[in-house]
Structure 1
Amino acid sequence: MRVVSLLLLAALAACTPGAPSAGSTGAAAATTTIDVSLTSSVVTATAYGSAGGFSPQVTTVPVGTTIRFVNIDSFAHTATSISGATFPASSPFSASALQLFGNTLSGGFTSGAIAAGASSQTLLADAPGTYLYGCFFHYGAPMRGAIVVH
């Protein structure tokens, strides 16, 4: 009777919505860190326009990766999404870039002002594509980067 009860319990758990599959390892998605530093940056020409202030300037990750921006400078920055296939010539940002928003790349995001030594929220690379972003304060420097999700 005890064996039958355990088998029944295991079968019910396997049918529970949201339960891990039998092949699931339960391993968390990898997190990729992008360093934010205008002072240690070198401007580079990319397929999207001039980039700098983020390292790496173009980050390539698989779907499911989480991204975190870490400010290693001594002053505030943002990491704010930009729509389009290339960096606009002038800043596309409004003051709303200073308010934390979003948790996926495809939904748009802004880290808000990341203080010196602090880090952003994590962002999920949820769909394939190229996601451009820049800093509200230093866009013209040019403080811009891209995340390519495959």
Structure 2
Amino acid sequence: MRKYLGALALLLTACTAGGIPSSSGGGGGGVTINISLSQFGPHSTPYGQSGGFSPSVTTVSVGTQLHFTNIDNFCCHTATLIPNATSFPSGSPFTQKATQPSGSTLSGGFSSGALQPNASSQTITADQPGTYLYGCYFHYGAPMRAAIVVQ
């Protein structure tokens, strides 16, 4: 009986909004990437040092809709595309424009703009296969950067 209740609790958690997070999305499904400088420390990825975003490498299908959410209790973070990058540049590639929301597709370029605590970005659609690197305008050197792989 105890095993049955444990399995039921796990199933309900997985099927509940805010339950067990996933790093992949089905065609058209939604994925939230959490942003936190204090919770997600630096580590190595195939693209260089990453941190501040969870997951650090998000794999999705074409058509997946993405949102970035600042879960820190301080201001501010951005999620901003690094155009045409195959690895993270050593210096910040961003201009002041990154602080304003822009774009709605990965291939067209995007920035969440400066996200206040508990705020979420506009919807960004994974419209074409490829690897898209992005980072935070304010904390790029922390290193606050990550990748989205669209298959």
Residue 141 of structure 2 is aligned to residue 145 of structure 1: no
Gaps of 5+ in 1: 1-27
Q: CA deviation at 1:40?
A: 0.5
1 CA distance for matches of 2:50 and 2:129?
21
1:102 aligns with 2:103: yes
- 1:43 aligns to 2:49 (yes or no): no
| Superposition TM-score, scaled by structure 1 size | 0.80
Separation of aligned partners in 2, 1:80 and 1:42 = 19
Residues of 2 paired with 1:74 and 1:140: CA distance?
20
Aligned to 1:123: 124
Match of residue 5 from structure 1: none
1:81-136 Cα deviation digits (max 9, x unpaired): 00210100010011000111000000000010010010000100000000000000
Secondary structure of the structure 2 residue equivalent to 1:32: strand
- SS of the equivalent of 2:102 reads coil
Higher Cα Rg: structure 1 or 2? 1
Indicate the percent of aligned positions where both proteins have the same amino acid: 59
2:126 and 2:118 map into 1 onto residues whose CA distance is 24
Partner of 1:86: 87
Paired residue secondary structure (2:97): helix
Report runs of 4+ in structure 1 exceeding 4 Å deviation.
none
TM normalised by structure 2 equals 0.80
Q: CA deviation at 1:41?
A: 1.2
